[in-house]
Amino acid sequence: MSNYKETATQVVEAIGGKENINNAWHCVTRLRFNLKDKNNIPIDKIKKIPGVMGAQFSGDQFQVIIGNTVADVFEEVDLIVGDSDQGDITNSDEGFLSKLFDIISAIFTPIVPALAGTGLLKGFLALAVIFGWTTAESSSYQVIYGLADSVLYFLPFLLAVSTARKFRTSEYLSLALAGAMMYPTYLTAAQNAMQASFTGGEAPAPWHMFGVIPLPLVSYASSVLPIIFSVVVLKYVVNWVKKWMPDSLTLMFTPMVALLITFPIAMVIIGPIGTYAGNFVGDGIAWLFEVGGPFAGLVLGATYPLLVITGMHYSLAPISLTSYAKNGFENVVTPINSVTNLAQSGSAFAVVLRTKNSSMRQIAISSGISASIGITEPAMYGVTLKLKRPFYAALAGGGIAGGFSTFMNLKAYGGGGMPGLFSIPAFIHDKDTMNVVWFIVALALSWLLSFIFTLVLGFKEEVEEEILVEEKPEIVVDPVEKNRIFSPLNGKIMLLKNVADETFAQELVGKGIAIVPTEKEVYAPISGEIKLFPESKHAIGILGDNGVEVLVHIGIDTVELGGEGFNLELVVGSHVEKGQLLGTVDFEGLLAKGVDITTMVIVTNTLNYTDVSPAQEEGIIFKEEELVHII
């Protein structure tokens, strides 16, 4: 728990504290934030926080990739931020699409566990019927099926809560609105009207509200859009009523008036339109896949991981749920999402077989297992995207398997848990026994093709490591320099723990020492190859001829200066000698702007050595004096 708290604290501090957060929530692997000020977010610094796998902006939403422990980290974030899942997005300056994906993600993500658990249970029930362990007429089956079907049937209640939280309105008034839509008397009349339209029987008498307004009879069981739009309207109605309602009466009369205004709008206008719109979208997607066939599945399968990277895959949730509600199954999102997850797993396990890096092998094993059960971010960010070619292999394997899934018209009959191996029970149906068989074939096809493609394409990491190992013995290192790093500056020594940057102060990057410069010249602290020199010129990474990796980080948060004040011209791949003048920095000018010029000299591969310690812990130091000693 302490590690989660440390990760959460550092992330919140890095993005500007709770004061800079409009809204915070999480999905399966990521912390998601709407920030008031999106400028100057130290993404590179955040990526180095323990427990963080990556960080990025997706549109105007800031995402911090955590992995499987995201829920634990978010608990700590929520304690720091407070009411973080109730951010008001109405005043956001995000673009339309960014805001739309943000809203969809925040509304549907919280209900995923309930959908997954009951969907998985529904699959096991179907399996029990197929194997003759029970019958659909037994009381045990009926009771457990009620549990398995409850979340989908009463979906408006769940969506009412998550929508209310997103739009900062009363959850309980929203639930009252959902209860009115799902009230048994109204639902029975709506179902009778629907049955009459199908069979040609006698339709029930028309309903009217207040004796004047005709009330369409529409069943809202399992519906998605009507309750979401109704809660949004409720928010504005409540706020409007509060403006003129006397404070002494608002507790009792504001909820009553708001419901009396919103309810007719919801039942007469929003509900029917939302229902028909949802059916239209569902029919449109089904038509697209019917016309496009396997090609449509191939395209979505090959691009689905790109949607995951940007967080846009949640935009497909309404389509999926609408299909379940209307047809009793879903044959687009769940099958293709499942096979693309297995594709990432297959590529990750191919990396296990080919890599010679023990650390990469361990990451690939754990993330490959996670991907097979539906958590792909660790595999993508830790393995396939990092090595590039395995990611391309997974796109190809997932695309082919997606086309196969569409060709076989695979159907998920429930949420089925996280898309992947745990989705298998969702594809079991007592009247469509081959459906699950072909789904397993699709999963195997995706995994195997991605595995083979990765083995064939290979990846550069292995070659680069071999070259590095071959070159090392050819370098003759001066014995005087072998275990020593020399000062790149004239200045005053400072221990890392006193540096005003927690990443360096806690030695998260590695051990070393800091210097407060007194002169502008910067010299090479070691002989070796320049491996890192960003456009901002604030950091220099050198791979020493003796194998030591040294980072000279000039100033704190100086990346934001964009190179201003830095007169350094280095070329990545070039070789420098210890004591060589690398350039100058206008430290006086930086100080005048309020910039902290403390410069860190860090051994970034500290774990390769028994000990890395300062040659001296205080006082003045001059260039080419011994600064750090390595054992």
d(CA 483, CA 331): 62
pLDDT digits (tens, 9 = 90+) for 447-491: 999 999 999 998 876 433 333 333 434 444 444 445 678 899 998
pLDDT at position 404 is 94
pLDDT in tens, 582-627: 999 999 888 888 889 999 999 888 877 777 888 788 888 888 788 8
What is the rounded CA–CA span in Å between residue 175 and residue 96?
28
The dihedral built from the CA positions of residue 520, 521, 523 and 529, taken in this order, carries a sign that is positive
Q: Is residue 613 part of a domain?
A: yes
Which of 463, 494, 513 is where one domain is finished?
463
For residues 425 and 502, membership in a common domain is answered with no
User: What is the Cα Rg of the chain in Å?
Assistant: 30
283, 215: one domain: yes
356 lies in some domain: yes
Q: How much is the average pLDDT of 557-584?
A: 87
Query: pLDDT tens across 44-91, in order?
Result: 889 889 888 888 886 667 888 887 677 788 888 888 886 544 444 444
Could you tell me if 345 and 372 are in contact, meaning their C-beta atoms sit under 8 angstroms apart?
Answer: yes
Is 531 part of any domain? yes
What's the number of domains the chain is made of? 4
Are 353 and 280 found together in one domain?
A: no
Query: What pLDDT does 476 receive?
Result: 43
Q: Which amino acid is at 386?
A: K
pLDDT at position 83 is 54
Query: Is the separation of the CB atoms in 546 and 484 below 8 Å?
Result: no
Cβ within 8 Å of residue 17, ≥6 positions away: none
Residue 256 pLDDT level (bands cut at 50, 70, 90): very high
Considering the domain boundaries, does residue 103 fall inside one?
A: no
Give the whole-angstrom CA distance, residue 153 versus residue 435: 24
Answer yes or no: are the C-beta atoms of 282 and 323 closer than 8 Å: yes
Token readout for 25 is 């929530």
Has residue 246 been placed in a domain? yes
In the set 27, 70, 111, 120, the catalytic residue is: 27
Domain span at 375:
329-463
Q: Residue 177: pLDDT above 80?
A: yes
Token reading at 509: 């990057």
492 and 361 in a common domain: no
Listed residues 288, 308, 338: the one ending a domain: 288
Q: Is residue 129 part of a domain?
A: no
- Map residue 471 onto helix, strand or coil: helix
Question: Is residue 34 within 8 Å of residue 87, measured between CB atoms?
Answer: yes
Q: Please, is 184 exposed, middle or buried when counting C-beta atoms within 10 Å of its C-beta (0-12, 13-18, 19+)?
A: exposed
pLDDT at res. 90 = 47
pLDDT in tens, 121-154: 776 777 787 778 888 788 888 899 888 888 878 8
- Among 93, 110, 132, where does a domain finish? 93
Q: Name the residue among 31, 16, 167 with its Cα closest to residue 92.
A: 167
Same domain, 450 and 499: no
Check whether residue 493 and residue 454 sit in a common domain: no
Matching residue, tokens 């509200």: 209
* Residue 17 is a catalytic residue: no
DSSP notation for 555-622: SSSGGGGTTTTEEE---TT-EE-TT-EEEEE-HHHHHHTT----EEEEETTGGGSS-EEES-SSSEE-
Q: How far is the C-alpha of 160 from the C-alpha of 166, rounded, in Å?
A: 10
CATH number at residue 521: 2.70.70.10
Indicate whether 211 and 248 sit together in one domain: yes
Count Cα atoms within 13 angstroms, Cβ side, for 172. Answer: 2
Judged against a pLDDT cut of 60, whether residue 237 lies above it is answered with yes
Q: How far is CA 55 from CA 11, 30, 538, in A?
A: 10, 9, 21
Paired residues of 491 in beta bridges: 517, 621
579 and 534, same structural domain?
yes
31 by DSSP, 3-state: which?
strand
